[in-house]
Amino acid sequence: MRNSPVRLLAAKVFATALMGAAFLNPASANDAFPQPGKSIRLIIPFAPGGVTDTSGRIIAENLSKRLGAQVVAENRPGASGNIGTNAVMNAAPDGYTLMLALDGSLVINPHVMKSMGSFHPTKNLTPVGNIGNSTIILVAHPSVQANTLKEVIELSRKTPEGLSYGTSGTASIVHIAGELLTQKTGAKLVHVPYKGGAPAVNDVVAGHIPLAFVSAASVQGYINMGQLKAIAVPTAKRSPFYPKVETFQENGVADFNVSSWVGLMAPPRTPQAVVDKLNAELNAVLADEDTVKRLNGMGIEPLPGTAQDFTSMIDANYNLFDGVIKSSGISLD
């Protein structure tokens, strides 16, 4: 695919951000944080209104109460999340600028967009903490003669043209999960990208394609009404939202753990004391009963933990997806 003027501009902006971030002076770890009367920006690198935006605003609202400082959500959409990411990379590393991070923009984009150059999520940004995971799920039209993942894999091998599966788009987390499944099992699956998860789901419900790999929260109603059947979830353990649905690993696909996640990041070289403070307050927010209920309502399972836990998860995803993407040849450039 040829580079568009927008992508070329994003590449220049991103390269400038990578160089500029290296010269920022970190705040003193001894400075009181947060300072009275000083607000914190939470940059959301996506358009308003989606689940990611809403979850970020819930976190901002509750962090404000915990920190005693106003956390202001600010949407900076564009270039698949790179515009907002650039802004955070170039911000002062003092804890007063944070980013709501989504899996795709940090662990997939660097491998499919050459314009991002040498960007690495945990080297060019500072992980603060995981907010939670959103389960993805493989579903099928009721007419498909397979009820388990093992049976889907077997059926795909017997079908001359393979089995088509719809996703929310090329290089989405669900597309990567589908490619990983194909590489691990030899399943004969054909990717059909849509402009969003809803059109993919609609085409499976209508019987136009047999399978879809989508956000689990988006199909619960269809499953309950019998218009779709749940095949399996690609997580290490069963989803709390779908306790009866088996995992890929239960179907013999070893070491398969892929989910969509959202978390908090800070500029590079943010002092550890500030990161620790933010992480502790984020974990307290994620333990709040009302917050848990609101996030669960969007299909997000809160996962409090340390900043190092979050760093390790990001690095593991980054390395795994690097191999999957290189083997499949996925590219957005």
DSSP codes, 53-101: HHHHHHHHHHHHHHHTS-EEEEE---GGGHHHHHHHHTS-SSSSEEEEE
Rounded to 5°, the CA angle 175-74-292 comes to: 65
**Which residue's entry shows tokens 């690095």?**
315
Q: What is the CATH number of the domain that holds 89?
A: 3.40.190.150
**Nearest alpha-carbon partner for 111 in 173, 185, 168:** 173
Write out the two tokens for 288. Answer: 């709040």
- Same domain membership, residue 190 and residue 71: no
- Same domain membership, residue 151 and residue 100: no
**Nearest alpha-carbon partner for 129 in 325, 269, 312, 290:** 312
Structural domain ending residue among the three candidates 251, 284, 303: 251
**What domain count does the chain have?**
2
**Which residue's entry shows tokens 């809160």?**
302
| Separation between Cα atoms, residue 168 and residue 200, nearest integer Å | 7
Instruction: Report which residue type is found at 41.
Output: R
**Nearest alpha-carbon partner for 210 in 137, 160, 140:** 140
- Same domain membership, residue 168 and residue 57: no
- Same domain membership, residue 266 and residue 207: no
| Structural domain range at position 162 | 136-251
Rounded to 5°, the CA angle 78-82-84 comes to: 75
- Same domain membership, residue 141 and residue 65: no
- Same domain membership, residue 129 and residue 9: yes
| Separation between Cα atoms, residue 47 and residue 19, nearest integer Å | 27
| Separation between Cα atoms, residue 13 and residue 83, nearest integer Å | 8
Query: Is 182 contained in some domain?
Result: yes
Query: Is 333 contained in some domain?
Result: no
- State the alpha helices, DSSP H only, in 187-238: 197-205, 220-224
- Same domain membership, residue 295 and residue 226: no
- Residue 4: how many other CB atoms lie within 10 Å: 10
- Same domain membership, residue 16 and residue 154: no
Structural domain ending residue among the three candidates 205, 221, 251: 251
Sort strands 126-134 and 229-232 into parallel, antiparallel or unpaired: unpaired
Q: Note whether 40 and 61 are within 8 A (CB).
A: no
| Separation between Cα atoms, residue 74 and residue 259, nearest integer Å | 25
Residue 296, sorted as left (phi over 0), alpha (psi -120 to 50) or beta, turns out to be alpha
Q: Note whether 186 and 157 are within 8 A (CB).
A: yes
Contacts 24+ apart (CB under 8 A), 107-110: 107/314, 107/317, 107/318, 107/321, 108/171, 108/172, 108/173, 108/176, 108/321, 108/325, 109/80, 109/81, 109/82, 109/171, 109/332, 110/318
Dihedral sign (CA 233, 236, 242, 244): positive
- Same domain membership, residue 317 and residue 211: no
| Separation between Cα atoms, residue 181 and residue 201, nearest integer Å | 19
- Same domain membership, residue 264 and residue 127: yes
Write out the two tokens for 37. Answer: 């009367």
Instruction: Report which residue type is found at 330.
Output: I
The SS3 assignment for 249 reads: helix
Query: Is 205 contained in some domain?
Result: yes
Instruction: Write out residues in the chain with pLDDT < 50, as ranges.
Output: 1-9, 22-24, 26-30
- Same domain membership, residue 159 and residue 119: no
What does the pLDDT look like over 276-330, one tens digit per residue? Answer: 999 999 999 999 999 999 999 999 999 999 999 999 999 999 999 999 999 999 9
Structural domain ending residue among the three candidates 194, 220, 251: 251
The β-bridge partners of 2 are: none
